[in-house]
Amino acid sequence: METVEITTKVDARGLSCPMPIVRTAQAAKLMASGTLLEVLATDPGSIKDFAAWCRSTGNELVDQSVDGAVYRFVIRRK
Amino acid sequence: MTMTAERPAPDPVQAAIADVEGLTSPDPATDAAEPAKLHDILLINYSGELEKVWATMLLASTAGAMQVPCRVFVTFWGLQNFVKDEKRITGKNWMQKMLAMMSRPGISHRPLSKMNFMGMGPWMMGTLARQQKNASPKELLQIAQEMGVEFIPCQMTMDMFGLTRDDLIEGMGEPVGAATVIGLMSEGSSPLFI
């Protein structure tokens, strides 16, 4: 796996639908193509929502993991 | 876009974890490299009640965040949501003014369809939402506008309630009629009436 540094972080912990997606979209707008974004969320719905968001916007979901109640998504900007 | 059918899951947390594990190996058919083909969405905001305005704004802001082209046609009681919050009495004749007096316009003054109890219900709902860190309809409306969702007022409703462009919030589209809505639907916009 190539080593690209995460340049942008979104802390959406505690926020409920649709704010994790909205905050991510707002952050992604300011990012350069190819850079990585890390999102932390606690909304269980975000697992499916981030997959759907990536499908619709064309950004790539590089990695996702769960640590206790915190979901972590790494997204590469289209 | 593929939607998997919901399985009956006795423990939602376990089901969510199983889903994460399932999703870590990306399915080539739904790989993000090939974005889904997006259709336009047309929301028709007809209702003026808090819970329905909330649903409209939630879907509109999400559509904006997902870069799905989205328009919201605002008609009848829905137009009351888009009158500036600080406007108290709107209308040109006494009947229009009386209607505004009986039900205060503006997105921050919406009643609930059930359990309104003279505003007690909406106040409790707003307090619960803040505790849960839910965005209010007003915040979601601002986000939707920033993300390019177009809100289009109904000309006929504006005339009926005696509303002017100055009564409505900034950034709304040109007022249109039913033919525009039918035209958009017939051209393939997915409609949703709220």
Q: Where are the domains of chain B?
A: 37-193
> Contact B24/A60, CB-based, under 8 Å?
no
SS3 per residue for chain A: CCCCCEEEEEEECCCCCCHHHHHHHHHHHCCCCCCEEEEEECCCCHHHHHHHHHHHHCCEEEEEEEECCEEEEEEECC
Architecture of domain A6-76 in CATH?
Answer: 2-Layer Sandwich (3.30)
A46 touches B at CB < 8 Å:
no
Distance from the A31 Cα atom to the nearest Cα atom in chain B, whole angstroms = 15
Residue A22 in contact with partner chain B when CB distance is under 8 A: yes
Instruction: Report yes or no: B68 at the A interface, CB cutoff 8 Å.
Output: yes
Rounded distance, CA B166 to CA B99, Å? 18
Within 8 A by CB and 6+ apart from B55, the residues are B194
Contact between residue A66 and residue A72 where contact means Cβ atoms under 8 Å apart: yes
In one-letter notation, the amino acid at residue B163 is: L
CATH class of B37-193: alpha beta
Mean pLDDT of A64-74: 95
Question: Residue B35 has what pLDDT?
Answer: 59
Q: What is the pLDDT along chain B (194 residues), one digit of tens a residue?
A: 444 444 454 566 666 655 655 554 444 444 445 556 778 999 999 999 999 999 999 999 999 999 999 999 999 999 999 999 999 899 999 999 999 988 889 999 998 888 888 888 899 888 988 888 889 999 999 999 999 999 999 999 999 999 999 999 999 999 999 999 999 999 989 999 99
B85: amino acid identity, one letter: D
Cα(B119)–Cα(B12) distance, rounded to whole angstroms? 35
Spacing of C-alpha B126 from chain mean position: 17
pLDDT in tens, A4-43: 788 899 999 999 889 999 999 999 999 999 999 999 999 9
User: Choosing among B2, B66, B68, which should be mutated to test the A contact, i.e. which has the most A CBs within 10 A?
Assistant: B66
Residue B98's Cβ-count burial label (10 Å; 0-12, 13-18, 19+) is exposed
- Residue B155's alpha-carbon distances to B66, B97, B174, B178, in angstroms, are 29, 18, 9, 9
Q: Is the dihedral of CA B152, B157, B159, B165 positive or negative?
A: negative
Q: Does B26 touch chain A (CB under 8 A)?
A: yes
Please tell me the predicted confidence (pLDDT) of residue B24. Answer: 47
Chain B residues with CB-CB distance to A73 below 8 A? none
Q: Which two tokens stand for residue A40?
A: 């932390």
The pLDDT value recorded for residue B115 is 85
* Strands B150-153, B70-74: pairing kind: parallel
Q: What are residue B72's DSSP bridge partners?
A: B43, B151
pTM for the predicted model, two decimal places: 0.80
